[in-house]
Amino acid sequence: MTAASDLIQPNGQGSAKICLGCWDQMHVPIPIRGPLALPFRAFGITRSKMNPNICTICERSFRYVKKKRHVTVSATILFADIRGFTRLSERIDPVKLSELVSMFQDLCAQAIWAHDGIVNKQMGDGLMAIFNFPIKIGDHAGAAIMAARDIQRRCTAALDRLNADLDSSHGPALGVGVGVHTGDVEIGEFSTFRSDFTAIGGAVNLAARLESKAAAGEILVSDATAAQAPDRMTGAEPRLLALKGIAQPVQARVLIKS
Ligand SMILES: [Zn+2]
């Protein structure tokens, strides 16, 4: 008999044999890899597109997993998008554009999964990730910062190649902007016609606003996140930001790709 702990292998690389979300949230071992997963697959329970280490039960049956419509969770939210994309989209071939978007989404997902986050929403040239739900992460602020650095590292190499091919008439060079914030969020199913969960609340909005202020190559980290993961903030510089919808200027920290 194999112990459940032997099946978890939480290394974030898409190799756990049971769903880490169902295990962390309910302590129920749902097989997602290997022969034990086959009967579950017959019932449509398979690996989630949000993270290959969670299953479609925790993605689509939030109410079943939590027995509630929504829960308050301390989480770190990460937003990323491609700077210079809108201008580029008016000037290059749609096929090339879609290749760029899928490359960006794939590189970001690998970085997020490597740190046990989930890709909760994909919006064209942007995405939103959640750290600490449904997979629990002790240091979710630090995990999100490491994922953000990883996103910058992976995307820079790919986008620099593209920038070299595009002449300056295509507009400013392409790069990625990232925003990260930690706080209490409401997680649940908030739509009557969609059955997957998402996070809402002021903390989500602040992460999105920070990302909107990040220039190409920058990671804007809120003070709340930085305070929880000081050892991940080496080289960060303070920046005072005027954010839409927030009366007082917001103090944030800027990490620039190295
Ligand atoms: Zn699950």
Q: What sign does the CA torsion over 29, 34, 39, 42 have?
A: positive
Amino acid at 90: E
- State the pLDDT at residue 48: 94
Task: Count other Cβ atoms within 10 Å, centred on residue 240.
Answer: 9
pLDDT tens, residue by residue, 54-71: 999 998 888 888 889 899
Q: Given 60, 79, 99, which residue is the final one in a domain?
A: 60
The label of the residue with tokens 């969670």 reads: 54
226 lies in the same domain as 166: yes
* Spatial separation of the C-alpha atoms in residues 139 and 147, rounded to whole Å: 12
Residues 145 and 20 reside in one and the same domain: no
CA of 135 to the centre of ligand 1 (A): 9
Q: Is residue 171 part of a domain?
A: yes
Total domains, the chain: 2
Does one domain contain both 110 and 20? no
- What predicted TM-score, i.e. pTM, was given to this entire model? 0.92
Per-residue pLDDT tens digits for 90-120: 888 899 899 999 999 999 999 999 999 999 9
What single letter denotes the amino acid at residue 13? Q
CA of 123 to the centre of ligand 1 (A): 24
Ligand 1 centre to CA of 167 (Å) is 46
Structure tokens, 98 = 């879609």
Cα–Cα dist 7/235, whole Å: 38
Q: Is residue 189 part of a domain?
A: yes
Q: How far apart are the first and last CA of the chain?
A: 47
C-alpha 138 – ligand 1 centre gap (Å)? 19
Distance 206 CA to ligand 1 centre (A): 28
40 and 18 in a single domain? The answer is yes
Helix (H, G, I), strand (E, B) or coil at 74: strand
Based on the domain organization, do 86 and 152 belong to the same domain? yes
Q: Is residue 66 part of a domain?
A: no
- Expressed in angstroms and rounded, the spacing between residue 139 Cα and the centre of ligand 1 is 21
Query: Do 37 and 111 have their domain in common?
Result: no
Query: For residues 68 and 250, what is the distance between their CA atoms, to the nearest angstrom?
Result: 34
Domain of residue 44: give its range: 4-60
Of 60, 80, 97, the one marking the end of a domain is 60
Supply the CATH number for residue 241's domain.
3.30.70.1230
CA of 184 to the centre of ligand 1 (A): 22
